[in-house]
């Protein structure tokens, strides 16, 4: 049994960590946090040059052709650094959708552009409140044009193209939904930035008015493609969350060692020690569940739906838990804008919703476990 | 990343599987598989006798105490082979419970500190289950604070004379031998005045009294020592070095990698899958599903944490600190799971025993659960261990560290 990353993958992790420590310091993240830039363009360019954007994209489409375990490794480091770039929307959602359902021409057009950092992509699925469900998709597609409003769309304001979920049938069945590919720079769309929990990753409202769109995958196959994309993204996001949770735990630990109160290191009080121990426990559970998700993702195992839901829930809980208690360990200083704690708190809570909320994934997990037991 | 055996591991697994298939006491398999925390019973047999017979059979064929050297009754197997064996032994591993302390703690301590002739005499019958051992550390005055123990050992000629009381001794009532931590010098700070021995539990002056637990059952005992004589050659380690000797014992307690911890989740999921609530199947209920999902990811998280440790063993490395979370997570989880299973039964959940839902499986689990959060290190001690050894936080401030033991206050208030 070798339920671990390989030495090469661990080397890649060290390389990514070193690169991000240099190019993505908290100071750099703050440029985006403070609204001085929509995302870190220099970092995005650097990630492309390092080959990280296309790490799981096959070589024939301009990527490094390494694989999804390598992408998991990079994702963890992106989460640890709280990187203010459209990595998850472009790489986990848009690129994965293209890899699953794109025609050769669509792949040739967009995947090399993603790998080289020239194109930012996203998934336009949600329409206001609600979790992923066919009935929540109202935006209509007819005769190759889209009409409707999507929000929130992650990184929608800076994206060059979007994978759009649209209604092609009238009911709430999976087969009533189809996917479309939209060049957001080609007209027919109106994009508005939305303020959101985590300013280091933008959210937007996109209005489609008789917007020209080309089908992605077969008509009526949209929901089954989406389900696969969401599962794959759930695993990749889980690694970001695990990276964020670990960093928040480290920050809390370091502060508990440095800070003196009542004449001693606050980390010598059991109230603090036990809080940090519990953070370690949830971060460890999340990491192990995510490893299983990585295995299922990289081998295209039949267990992927269940593994993805478990990784998603566990990593969401761990990142939220570690981020909030990191602030608690810091006390009042943790609640200031100057300290970095709130950046992780914001990211943790935004990520907890991005692919559908915790209660949605809890429901999914139980469905999938029942399906497995019935089989 | 894969879950495959190496060729050698696969060969070992196949050999173990064939032997277990041909030799395990299959007539008890179903009952053992259905046992859960607080309820491991065989209806028509004495579990102690079944366990001893299985252990002896394993020992005769070279499958006992796999990680021990052959000359002491083991197999000289690698850590990963030990894990594979326990995976293959499956439900029959439940029968090893009465030997866990002897094999996991007493044996390794004897191996590290006993004289060679004692090792050759005592270890093989310990491995084969013919002799059962217990561990006599905890006292009324020293549970989490083991070094606060007061049982005295005083030198008299070539013997030591023991007086005092131990508590929470698992299996003392059927044990043949025990390892015993005593205080030999109360005038020095507490960690410095301890000495370890092993003794025959049938020695004159040893009295074992079962403790009736909060659950009603009796797994543990009080053990009283009145002028019990132990020859000096049964001392383990130097006089005054008992604390270090006991650390060897306790480290072995925590190194049982891959041993599955009970979380109660498989039992609860199975229960909810068929349970009907007032307004429909439990498994369709949003609140039930949310609870189940939260426990599911804890159970799977523990499972895959243990797989990571096993992977390290398979590569011949020492596992990281991740495995220290198992008992902490599982202990409080099984208590919560049992509480929730009864909640789903409504007012009827109050009935326990054979007349209850599932013959009282979850009631028994609930009543046994508080013990799991205390035995082998309380939740609080486990958190201290994680905080200090894994996260590198400072140790607790110990006000009694440099005080002679006999000057430490013994009462909280007067």
| pLDDT tens profile A180-210 | 999 999 999 999 999 999 999 999 999 999 9
> Would you place residue B215 in the very low, low, confident or very high pLDDT band (cuts 50, 70, 90)?
confident
Higher pLDDT, B170 or A145: A145
**Looking at the predicted structure, is the pLDDT value of residue B25 above 80?**
yes
> Would you place residue A138 in the very low, low, confident or very high pLDDT band (cuts 50, 70, 90)?
very high
Helix (H, G, I), strand (E, B) or coil at A198: coil
**Looking at the predicted structure, is the pLDDT value of residue A218 above 60?**
yes
Mean pLDDT for chain A overall:
97
How do residues A6-43 score in pLDDT, each as one tens digit?
999 999 999 999 999 999 999 999 999 999 999 999 99
**pLDDT at residue B37 in the model:** 79
A295 contact B CB<8A: yes
Chain B nearest CA to A359, separation (Å): 7
Mutation target among B84, B258, B387 for the A interface, most CBs of A within 10 A: B387
> Would you place residue B18 in the very low, low, confident or very high pLDDT band (cuts 50, 70, 90)?
very high
Q: Do B296 and A291 touch (CB under 8 A)?
A: no
Chain B nearest CA to A268, separation (Å): 5
**Looking at the predicted structure, is the pLDDT value of residue A304 above 60?**
yes
**Partner residue opposite B1 with nearest CB, options A2, A264, A287:** A2
**Looking at the predicted structure, is the pLDDT value of residue A288 above 80?**
yes
Q: Do A288 and B396 touch (CB under 8 A)?
A: no
**pLDDT at residue B260 in the model:** 62
How do residues A307-345 score in pLDDT, each as one tens digit?
999 999 999 999 999 999 999 999 999 999 999 999 999
The interface residues of chain A toward chain B in range 137-156, judged by CB-CB distance below 8 A, are none
Percent residues over pLDDT 70 in chain B = 98
- Cβ–Cβ pairs < 8 A, chains A and B: 159
Q: Is B97 exposed, middle or buried (0-12, 13-18, 19+ CB in 10 A)?
A: middle
> Would you place residue B314 in the very low, low, confident or very high pLDDT band (cuts 50, 70, 90)?
confident
Chain B nearest CA to A249, separation (Å): 9
**pLDDT at residue B410 in the model:** 85
Nearest CA in chain A to B327: A281
Query: Which chain A residues have a beta carbon less than 8 Å from that of B304?
Result: 3, 288-289, 291-292
> Would you place residue B253 in the very low, low, confident or very high pLDDT band (cuts 50, 70, 90)?
low
B311 contact A CB<8A: yes
The interface residues of chain B toward chain A in range 236-295, judged by CB-CB distance below 8 A, are 269, 273, 283, 286, 289-290, 292-294
Query: Which chain B residues have a beta carbon less than 8 Å from that of A270?
Result: 380, 383-384, 396
Average pLDDT in the A348-370 region?
Answer: 97
Average pLDDT in the A250-257 region?
Answer: 98
Q: Do B305 and A286 touch (CB under 8 A)?
A: no
**Partner residue opposite A288 with nearest CB, options B2, B304, B315:** B304
Q: State how far the Cα of A148 lies from the Cα of A207, in Å rounded to an integer.
A: 6
Nearest CA in chain A to B5: A1
Q: Do B380 and A270 touch (CB under 8 A)?
A: yes
Q: Is B117 a catalytic residue?
A: no
Q: Do A361 and B394 touch (CB under 8 A)?
A: no
Chain A nearest CA to B141, separation (Å): 22
Mean pLDDT for chain B overall:
92
Strand-strand pairing, A177-183 and A203-212 = unpaired
Average pLDDT in the A237-256 region?
Answer: 98
**pLDDT at residue A209 in the model:** 97
Chain B nearest CA to A372, separation (Å): 13
| Phi, psi angles (nearest 5°) of residue B152 | -95, 140
**pLDDT at residue B377 in the model:** 84
**pLDDT at residue B256 in the model:** 57
Instruction: List all residues 6 or more positions away from B196 whose beta carbon is below 8 Å from its beta carbon.
Output: B109, B113, B179, B180, B181, B182, B235, B236, B237, B241, B242, B245, B246
Percent residues over pLDDT 90 in chain B = 72
How do residues B58-82 score in pLDDT, each as one tens digit?
999 999 999 899 999 999 998 889 8
**Looking at the predicted structure, is the pLDDT value of residue B181 above 80?**
yes
Query: Which chain B residues have a beta carbon less than 8 Å from that of A253?
Result: 391-393
> Would you place residue B259 in the very low, low, confident or very high pLDDT band (cuts 50, 70, 90)?
low
Q: State how far the Cα of B414 lies from the Cα of B412, in Å rounded to an integer.
A: 7
B53-84 core/surface letters (b: 16 or more CB in 10 A; e: else): ebbbbbbeeebbbbbbeeebbbbebbbbbbbb
Given B253, B322, B375, B380, the catalytic residue: B253
**pLDDT at residue B33 in the model:** 87
């Amino acid at each position: 049994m070798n339920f671990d990353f390989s030495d090469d993958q661990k080397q890649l992790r060290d390389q990514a960590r070193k690169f991000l420590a240099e190019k993505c310091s908290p100071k750099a993240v703050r440029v985006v946090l403070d609204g001085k830039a929509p995302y870190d363009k220099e970092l995005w360019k650097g990630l492309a040059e390092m080959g990280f954007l296309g790490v799981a994209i096959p070589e024939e489409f301009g990527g490094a052709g390494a694989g999804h375990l390598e992408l998991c490794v990079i994702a963890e480091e992106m989460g640890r650094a709280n990187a203010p770039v459209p990595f998850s929307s472009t790489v986990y959602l848009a690129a994965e959708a293209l890899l699953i359902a794109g025609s050769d021409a669509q792949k040739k057009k967009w995947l090399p552009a993603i790998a080289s950092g020239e194109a930012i992509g996203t998934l336009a699925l949600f329409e206001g409140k609600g979790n992923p469900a066919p009935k929540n998709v109202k935006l209509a597609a007819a005769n190759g044009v889209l009409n409707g409003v999507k929000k929130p769309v992650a990184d929608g304001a800076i994206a060059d193209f979007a994978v759009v979920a649209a209604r092609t049938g009238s009911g709430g069945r999976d087969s009533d939904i189809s996917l479309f590919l939209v060049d957001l720079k080609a007209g027919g769309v109106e994009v508005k930035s939305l303020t959101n929990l985590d300013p280091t990753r933008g959210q937007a409202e996109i209005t489609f008015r008789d917007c020209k769109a080309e089908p992605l995958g077969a008509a009526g196959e949209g929901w089954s493609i989406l389900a696969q994309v969401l599962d794959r993204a759930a695993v990749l996001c889980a690694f970001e969350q695990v990276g964020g949770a670990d960093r928040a735990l480290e920050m809390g630990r370091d502060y508990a060692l440095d800070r003196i109160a009542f004449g001693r290191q606050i980390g010598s009080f059991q109230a603090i020690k036990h809080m940090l121990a519990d953070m370690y426990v949830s971060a460890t559970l999340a990491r192990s569940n995510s490893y299983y998700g990585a295995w299922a993702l990289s081998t295209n195992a039949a267990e992927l739906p269940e593994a993805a839901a478990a990784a998603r829930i566990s990593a969401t809980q761990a990142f939220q838990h570690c981020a909030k208690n990191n602030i608690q360990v810091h006390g009042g200083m943790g609640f200031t804008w100057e300290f970095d704690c709130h950046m992780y708190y914001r990211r943790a809570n935004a990520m907890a919703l991005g692919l559908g909320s915790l209660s949605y994934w809890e429901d999914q997990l139980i469905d999938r476990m029942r399906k497995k037991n019935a089989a | 990343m894969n879950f495959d055996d190496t060729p050698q591991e696969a060969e070992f697994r196949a050999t173990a599987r064939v032997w277990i298939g041909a030799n395990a006491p299959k007539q008890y398999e179903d009952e053992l598989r259905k046992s859960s925390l607080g309820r491991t019973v065989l209806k028509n047999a004495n579990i102690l006798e079944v366990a001893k017979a299985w252990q002896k059979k394993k020992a005769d064929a070279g499958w006992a105490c796999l990680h021990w050297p052959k000359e002491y009754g083991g197999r000289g197997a690698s850590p990963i082979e030990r894990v594979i064996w326990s995976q293959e032994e499956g439900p029959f591993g439940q029968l090893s419970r009465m030997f866990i302390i002897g094999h996991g703690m007493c044996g390794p301590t004897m191996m590290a500190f006993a004289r060679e002739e004692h090792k050759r005499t005592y270890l093989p019958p310990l491995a084969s289950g013919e002799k059962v051992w217990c561990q006599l550390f905890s006292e009324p005055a020293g549970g989490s604070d083991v070094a606060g123990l007061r049982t005295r050992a005083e030198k008299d000629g070539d013997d030591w004379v023991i007086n005092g009381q131990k508590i929470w001794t698992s299996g003392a009532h059927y044990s043949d031998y025990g390892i015993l931590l005593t205080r030999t010098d109360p005038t020095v700070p507490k960690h410095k005045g301890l000495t370890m021995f092993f003794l025959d539990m049938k020695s004159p002056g040893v009295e074992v009294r079962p403790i009736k637990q909060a659950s009603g059952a009796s797994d543990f005992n009080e053990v009283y020592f009145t002028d019990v004589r132990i020859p000096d050659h049964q001392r383990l380690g130097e006089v005054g070095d008992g604390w270090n000797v006991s650390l060897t014992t306790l480290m072995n307690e925590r190194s049982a990698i891959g041993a599955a911890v009970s979380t109660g989740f498989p039992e609860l999921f199975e229960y909810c899958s068929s349970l009907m609530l007032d307004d429909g199947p439990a498994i369709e209920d949003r609140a039930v599903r949310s609870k189940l999902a939260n426990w599911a990811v804890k159970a799977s998280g523990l499972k895959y944490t243990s797989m990571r440790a096993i992977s390290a063993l398979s590569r011949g490395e020492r596992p990281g600190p991740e495995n220290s979370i198992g008992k902490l997570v599982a202990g409080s989880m099984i208590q919560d799971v049992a509480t929730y299973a009864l909640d789903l039964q409504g007012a009827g959940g109050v009935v326990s025993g054979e007349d209850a839902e599932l013959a009282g499986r979850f009631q028994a689990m609930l009543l046994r659960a508080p013990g799991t959060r205390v035995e082998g290190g309380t939740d609080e001690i486990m958190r201290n261990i994680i905080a200090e050894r894994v996260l590198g936080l400072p140790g607790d401030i110990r006000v009694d560290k440099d005080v002679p033991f006999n000057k430490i206050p013994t009462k909280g208030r007067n």
